[in-house]
């Protein structure tokens, strides 16, 4: 894609997010380039053919990007100088710059990246006994408006491009290269609603899953949605082996609507039907995320109601004790009550775990990520 078209596209994304006409500013805008990481292997082959090059070069470029993880086009030494220059002209290899890299006591690392147009996003690396998991962001901000979440406080600024999501993983992998470790798992649970940026998310999935790309197995990738019903059907039809999580948070329509305004657009009944469609179509289980918000949705009665709601669905429930967000006044459920909730689900034959908290001392836990206002001021 040429530069002007790419600039237009970025502007369109901003405009769509802000839902207001584009400001026709006289001020010169920085020249932005499409990230090379946005391209699936077949798209890169296509681009090469269109530019008078052999398609097999795509495999070589992928190797430089995802295996050797070079930081400049210059280093791609088995490509002709002319091709390297063409790549340089048309694509950016770096569209994220690391502003802050903050490490928690438990080994969690939070990265604050600045995008080409000045916005910033957060990405989190979590250390588990089974591997290293990266929590990626899909949008600058979010327009879903969940009442307990920090990511949605400033609304949506713009969607991320596929390459901006891929590059988050590449950057974290480059940091891990220094200690000879590998990113083994991905959770699409950072800032933003992935199903609200569906096409970019799908490209991201293809690139990281490709065995010539980052080669992260589908079963090691989890995507989580607040419940955009039509996209759940679309996702089910993709028939991927990717783990699927739904942020449920309430056992009935009234309560869900209070906690998550999106429930007004998509009724719980319709949502559950979409979930059944997913589990039937894919044969895979769904993971229900259920935040425990003190005094709101965390009684034994709620646990009984939840059990009835999800009865017969191939699933797993992940209980998330609320994480503190200063702007929100939700309180923690006492420990014994968390266990009582868990016990009730277990008694009803439901698979359940309580989510372990990662990086809470650096505000990296679930729902605490936010697009940093500071970097937006530099626009
Ligand atoms: N937008 C997607 C991805 C976010 S994943 C989604 O809604 O699923 C992050 C998970 O953390 C979601 O289940 C979200 O509802 C939950 N969450 C958000 N704020 C939280 C908070 N303050 N405490 C605990 N969980 C929270």
Tens digits of residue pLDDT in 115-154: 999 999 999 999 999 999 999 999 999 999 999 999 999 9
Share of the chain above pLDDT 70, in %: 91
Tokens read off for 114: 């600045």
Of 33, 29, 47, 28, residue with least CA distance to 3: 33
Atom of ligand 1 nearest to the CA of 366: 11
How many A from CA of 263 to the centre of ligand 1?
Answer: 15
Q: Which residues are annotated as a binding site?
A: 142, 146, 149, 192-193, 224, 247-249, 323
Q: What is the pLDDT of residue 128?
A: 94
Global pTM?
0.92
Atom of ligand 1 nearest to the CA of 245: 8
Q: Active-site residue 122, yes or no?
A: yes
Helix (H) or strand (E) holding 89: helix 81-90
* E strands in 5-108: 34-35, 91-92, 97-103
Q: Can you tell me the mean pLDDT for 330-335?
A: 95
Rounded CA-CA distance 31/256 in Å is: 44
Rounded CA-CA distance 249/320 in Å is: 9
Q: What is the pLDDT of residue 371?
A: 77
Rounded CA-CA distance 275/95 in Å is: 36
Nearest CA to ligand 1 atom 12: 247
Tens digits of residue pLDDT in 175-198: 999 999 999 999 999 999 999 999
Atom of ligand 1 nearest to the CA of 260: 15
Q: What is the pLDDT of residue 27?
A: 58
User: Is 374 a residue whose pLDDT tops 60?
Assistant: no
Ligand 1 contacts CB of residue 337 (under 6 A)? no
Q: What is the pLDDT of residue 1?
A: 54
Domains and CATH numbers, the chain: 3-20+95-378 (3.20.20.70), 40-90 (1.10.150.530)
Tens digits of residue pLDDT in 296-306: 999 999 999 99
Cβ proximity of 113 and 123 under 8 Å: yes
How many A from CA of 104 to the centre of ligand 1?
Answer: 20
Ligand 1 contacts CB of residue 61 (under 6 A)? no
Q: Can you tell me the mean pLDDT for 285-292?
A: 98
Q: Can you tell me the mean pLDDT for 329-345?
A: 96
How many A from CA of 38 to the centre of ligand 1?
Answer: 26
Q: What is the pLDDT of residue 253?
A: 98
Ligand 1 contacts CB of residue 138 (under 6 A)? no
How many A from CA of 247 to the centre of ligand 1?
Answer: 7
Q: How far is CA 3 from CA 86, 89, 120, 176, 275, in A?
A: 13, 9, 21, 32, 41
Ligand 1 contacts CB of residue 291 (under 6 A)? yes
Q: What is the pLDDT of residue 377?
A: 46
Ligand 1 mutation target, pool 135, 138, 142, 146, most atoms within 8 A of CB: 146
* Contacts of residue 206, Cβ cutoff 8 Å, sequence gap at least 6: 40, 213
Q: What average pLDDT does the structure give for the chain? A: 92
Share of the chain above pLDDT 90, in %: 83
Tell which wins on pLDDT, 130 or 15.
130
Burial bucket for residue 322 (CB in 10 Å: 0-12, 13-18, 19+): buried
Q: What is the pLDDT of residue 189?
A: 97
How many A from CA of 149 to the centre of ligand 1?
Answer: 6
User: Is 376 a residue whose pLDDT tops 50?
Assistant: no
Q: Which of 122, 164, 167, 296 is catalytic?
A: 122
Nearest CA to ligand 1 atom 26: 367
Q: Please give the DSSP secondary-structure letter assigned to residue 67.
A: I
Q: What is the pLDDT of residue 375?
A: 46
Tens digits of residue pLDDT in 217-270: 999 999 999 999 999 999 999 999 999 999 999 999 999 999 999 999 999 999
Ligand 1 mutation target, pool 145, 151, 247, most atoms within 8 A of CB: 247
Atom of ligand 1 nearest to the CA of 249: 15
Q: How confident is the model at residue 342 (pLDDT cuts 50, 70, 90)?
A: very high
Nearest CA to ligand 1 atom 8: 225
Ligand 1 contacts CB of residue 149 (under 6 A)? yes
Ligand 1 contacts CB of residue 134 (under 6 A)? no
Q: Active-site residue 25, yes or no?
A: no
Q: What is the pLDDT of residue 131?
A: 97
Tokens read off for 125: 């690396």
Give the number of other Cβ atoms within 10 Å of residue 57's Cβ.
21
Q: Which residues are annotated as a binding site for [4Fe-4S] cluster?
A: 142, 146, 149
Q: Can you tell me the mean pLDDT for 312-325?
A: 95
Q: Can you tell me the mean pLDDT for 167-175?
A: 97
């Amino acid at each position: 894609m040429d530069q002007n078209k790419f600039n237009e596209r970025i502007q369109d994304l901003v405009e769509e997010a802000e839902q207001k006409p584009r400001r026709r500013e006289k001020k010169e805008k920085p020249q932005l380039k499409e990230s090379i990481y946005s391209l699936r292997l077949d798209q890169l082959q296509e681009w090469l053919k269109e530019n008078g090059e052999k398609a097999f070069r795509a495999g070589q470029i992928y190797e430089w990007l995802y295996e050797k993880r070079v930081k400049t086009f210059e280093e791609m030494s088995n490509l002709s100088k002319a091709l390297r220059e063409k790549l340089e002209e048309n694509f950016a290899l770096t569209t994220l710059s690391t502003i802050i890299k903050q490490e928690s006591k438990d080994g969690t690392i939070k990265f604050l990246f600045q995008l080409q147009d000045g916005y910033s996003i957060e990405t989190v690396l979590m250390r588990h006994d089974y591997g290293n998991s990266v929590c990626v962001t899909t949008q600058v901000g979010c327009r879903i408006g969940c009442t307990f979440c920090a990511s949605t406080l400033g609304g949506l600024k713009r969607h991320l491009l596929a390459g901006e999501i891929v590059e988050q993983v590449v950057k974290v992998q480059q940091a891990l290269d220094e200690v000879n470790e590998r990113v083994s798992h991905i959770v699409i649970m950072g800032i933003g609603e992935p199903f609200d940026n569906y096409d970019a998310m799908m490209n991201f999935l293809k690139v990281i899953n490709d065995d010539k790309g980052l080669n992260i197995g589908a079963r090691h990738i989890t995507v989580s949605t607040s419940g955009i019903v039509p996209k759940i059907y679309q996702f089910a039809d993709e028939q991927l082996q990717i783990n699927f999580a739904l942020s449920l948070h309430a056992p009935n329509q009234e309560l869900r609507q209070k906690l998550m305004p999106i429930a007004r657009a998509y009724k719980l009944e319709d949502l559950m039907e979409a979930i059944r469609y997913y589990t039937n179509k894919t044969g895979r289980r769904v993971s229900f995320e259920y935040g425990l918000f003190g005094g709101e949705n965390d009684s034994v009665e709620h646990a009984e109601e939840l059990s009835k709601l999800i009865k017969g669905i191939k699933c797993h429930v992940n209980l998330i004790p609320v994480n503190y967000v200063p702007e929100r006044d939700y309180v923690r459920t006492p420990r014994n009550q968390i266990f009582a909730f868990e016990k009730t689900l277990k008694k009803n034959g439901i698979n359940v775990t309580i989510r372990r908290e990662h990086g809470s001392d650096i505000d990296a836990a679930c729902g605490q990520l936010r697009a940093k206002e500071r970097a937006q001021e530099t626009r």
